[in-house]
Amino acid sequence: MSSPIWTRDALRSELRGWRGKAWRLVEAQHRVSTLKLVDSLAEQAILEDILETTKPPVPEACRGLDYLLSTPFRYRPYPYGSRFRRAGFTPGVWYGAERAETAVAEMVFYRFLFFAEAPDVPFPDGAADYTGFAVPLATDAALDLTAPPLDRDAADWTHPTEYDPCQTIADTAREAGCLLLRATSVRDPKRGANLVVLSCAAFAAKAPTDRQTWRIKVGPSGAQAIREHPARGIEFGRDAFAADPRLAGMRWDRPRAGS
């Protein structure tokens, strides 16, 4: 697949304002992973400070931000390419979604992909806990890949496995001064929108402003995602992401853990 040709000047003329919230899911234990190694919260704080000194420095533009926002911009090289970021010593990208449900669909897809690539790993007995969090974004330098004229290359922006066109548009968008991309979620069955933060300057708050608790269970029938407050349930059948060839050989009849 050849990448669509969008020049820096062409993209600069399409920059628009965008304001709203972006949602993302992380494993719930992200806040307590070090607690099992200590006997008190004070010791945990000391341990976290020690670990902080071993990590790469936070980029200047991201300093003062909660680590849930700054982390993607901090670590280089990037071991594997993603839809809008090339592998290697490349600028960071933070991925979010306009709706929590879209962020859930993204997480479920990657859980399916994990099990597809590990056919001998049993499905877990129970559901895993995830924290959904939202952060406000605000910029006058956004590009909307779902709107004209950029949507004419929608097939390139939404290919299930070929990321080069998206990586190319992200590279050129940065050169044009773009801070944020709005794009169709390839994983959400309802085709919600993802928000791709190219610079920490797009964050309108230093930390998440909303949080939700989600439980996701993956098993032989697919996946079920449940949110308690406000109550919400979403089911993903075996064919929820059938367009992605990497899931074609998914082994659904595997045993559960402990069986």
pLDDT digits (tens, 9 = 90+) for 192-245: 999 999 999 999 999 999 999 999 999 999 999 999 889 999 999 999 999 999
Residue 211 within any structural domain of the chain: yes
Three-class secondary structure assignment of the chain:
CCCCCCCHHHHHCCCEEEEEEEEEEEEHHHHCCCHHHCCCHHHHHHHHHHHHHCCCCCCHHHCCCCHHHHHHHHCCCECCCECCECCECCCCCEEEECCHHHHHHHHHHHHHHHHHHCCCCCECCCCEEEEEEEEEEEEEEEEECCCCCHHHHHHHHCCCCCCHHHHHHHHHHHHCCCCEEEEECCCCCCCCEEEEECCHHHECCCCCCEEEEEEEEEECCEEEEEECCCCEEEEEECCCCCCCHHHCCCCCCCCECCC
State residue 257's pLDDT score: 78
Q: 258 lies in a domain?
A: no
What six digits make up the tokens of 207?
A: 């930390």
pLDDT at 37 over 80: no
Average of per-residue pLDDT across 36-49: 66
Is the confidence at residue 258, as pLDDT, over 80?
no
Q: Report how far residue 256's alpha carbon sits from residue 224's, in angstroms, rounded to the nearest whole number.
A: 16
In a domain, 49, yes or no: yes
Residue 29's pLDDT band (cuts 50, 70, 90): low
> Above 90 in pLDDT, residue 184?
yes
Specify burial of residue 187 (Cβ count, 10 A radius: 0-12, 13-18, 19+). buried
- φ, ψ of residue 73 to 5 degrees: the values are -95, -5
Predicted confidence at residue 259, as pLDDT, reads 55
Q: For residue 2, what pLDDT band results from cuts at 50, 70 and 90?
A: low
Percent of the chain with pLDDT over 90: 81
* Percent of the chain at pLDDT exceeding 70: 90
* Mean pLDDT, residues 156-183: 97
> Does 254 reside within a domain?
no
Number of domains in the chain: 1
> Does a structural domain hold residue 110?
yes
- The residue among 251, 254, 244 whose CA lies nearest residue 110 is 244
Range of the domain at 86: 8-247
> From the CA atom positions of the chain, what is the Rg in Å?
19
Residue 73 forms part of a structural domain = yes
Examine residue 74 and state whether it is found in any structural domain, yes or no. yes
Residue 165 in any domain: the answer is yes
Output the pLDDT for position 28. Answer: 79
